[in-house]
Amino acid sequence: MLNKTTAALALSTALVAPAAFAQELEGTLTIFSDMSNPAPRAVMESLAAEFDEMHPNLEVELTIIDREAYKTQIRNFLTANPPDVANWYAANRMRPYVSAGLFEDVSDLWEEPEIAENLASTRGAMTIDGAQWGVPYTYYQWGVYYREDIYDEYGLEEPQDWETFKSNCQTLLDNGVKCFTIGTKFLWTAGGWFDYLNMRTNGYDFHMALTNGEIEWTDERVRQTFANWRELIDMGAFIDNHQSYSWQEALPFMVNGDAAAYLMGNFAVAPLREAGLSDDQIDFYQFPVINPDVELAEDAPTDTFHIPSGATNKEAAREFLRFVVSADVQTRINAGDALGQLPVNASASIDDDEMLAQGFEMLSSNSPGGIAQFFDRDAPAEMASVAMEGFQEFMVFPDNLDDILARLEQARQRIY
């Protein structure tokens, strides 16, 4: 339990609490969190302390559980002894708990203007069966990080469409530079390519239906996604032997100038800078349009707060969810010295970082097609594993496509 002295100390560097949150709350608010790494833990402890201080008649009890242990414990504690608030993840990762009736419907919060207007880009990620089941508190962008100096050397512009994307690639290849580095030893990186190619080819709703098991993998629209992917493979766009590298081991190809770009999450920026690339050498662009008839959707893995259906203090829990998504709190907890990611509230501010600024603009206003959670979050774990093995195999042996899709379709029928 957090005492008031601890809370006061935690608040010494915190923002003044918005007056809108000052309604009277009583009793105890229990929070279970998986934010066990040092920086996220400090954020969670500060949030709990601040909320405790804001409400003199409320006691906040915070329990932090090791992140991996939390994954195995969540179903048990949601069923047997649920807290009032719990961390988890958006989209399909929350579906089992929604389907089991273990998460509270918080659609009422999403009708409030502050949330409806400022969190609009993440609404789809929090929606199952037409209702919202929690709120996001942080996410990060994916996109194409590229060597701006190499692009400048060969007169290349950031591509807005598929044809320019490919013509840029051909120019690089003609000059002995691979278009993209990638390491697929751990399969999820290939999942990122499939996500973007499928969302740009067929749209967000199709992609979500596919990951939900509603569309056959042998569907011609899925084949078109792979046909687009094969254009790049046949060009030789990707580094050789990528299946031998982890995502970190693929970074030197970009650092050394052997490859010009990386489709990756924003977490790749820090190691690129640490390896010696300056902000004058690296830049970021949104994955370009393939099919102009579909709106642009993005991968932005999102961490969330939920109210268990068995919570005992749902009034205080709802107020905590309002608090954690407010613009001021979002600005503070996502700062570089805290989570170092992007605020989900479009009215929040971000650190003076070029990559974060571009990602925030893209996700807040330039991704009307929706926010996906990444393939291994949007699809059930078993389906994700089988599919990503297929994606890696396709990148190495594209002629195996028929066998790969047949295998994925068999898995879909069995798993769903």
Q: Domain 4-139+301-371 is of which CATH architecture?
A: 3-Layer(aba) Sandwich (3.40)
Task: Give the list of residues 6+ apart from residue 375 with CB closer than 8 angstroms, or none.
Answer: 188, 191, 192, 194, 195, 211, 384, 387, 388
pLDDT at 14 over 80: no
The DSSP-derived string for 351-398 is -S-HHHHHHHHHHHHS-TTEEE--HHHHS-HHHHHHHHHHHHHHHH-G
Residue 17 gets which letter from DSSP? P
| Residue spans per domain, the chain | 4-139+301-371, 142-299+380-415
pLDDT digits (tens, 9 = 90+) for 168-195: 999 999 999 999 999 999 999 999 999 9
Determine the pLDDT at residue 4. Answer: 33
What is the C-alpha separation between 332 and 348, in angstroms, rounded?
9
Give the residue-averaged pLDDT of 222-242. Answer: 98
User: How confident is the model at residue 17, as a pLDDT?
Assistant: 43
Q: What is the pLDDT of residues 31-83, one digit of tens each?
A: 999 999 888 999 999 999 999 999 999 999 999 999 889 989 999 999 999 99
Give the residue, 252 or 339, on which the prediction is more confident.
252
Q: Which two tokens stand for residue 363?
A: 């996700």
Task: Quote the percentage of the chain above a pLDDT of 70.
Answer: 94
What pLDDT is attached to residue 121? 86
Q: Is the confidence at residue 10, as pLDDT, over 60?
A: no
What's the pLDDT band for 23 if we cut at 50, 70, 90?
Answer: low
The answer, as to whether pTM is greater than 0.95, is no
Predicted pLDDT of residue 353 = 85
| Amino acid sitting at position 356 | L
Domain 142-299+380-415 has CATH 3.40.190.10: yes
pLDDT surpasses 90 at 86:
yes
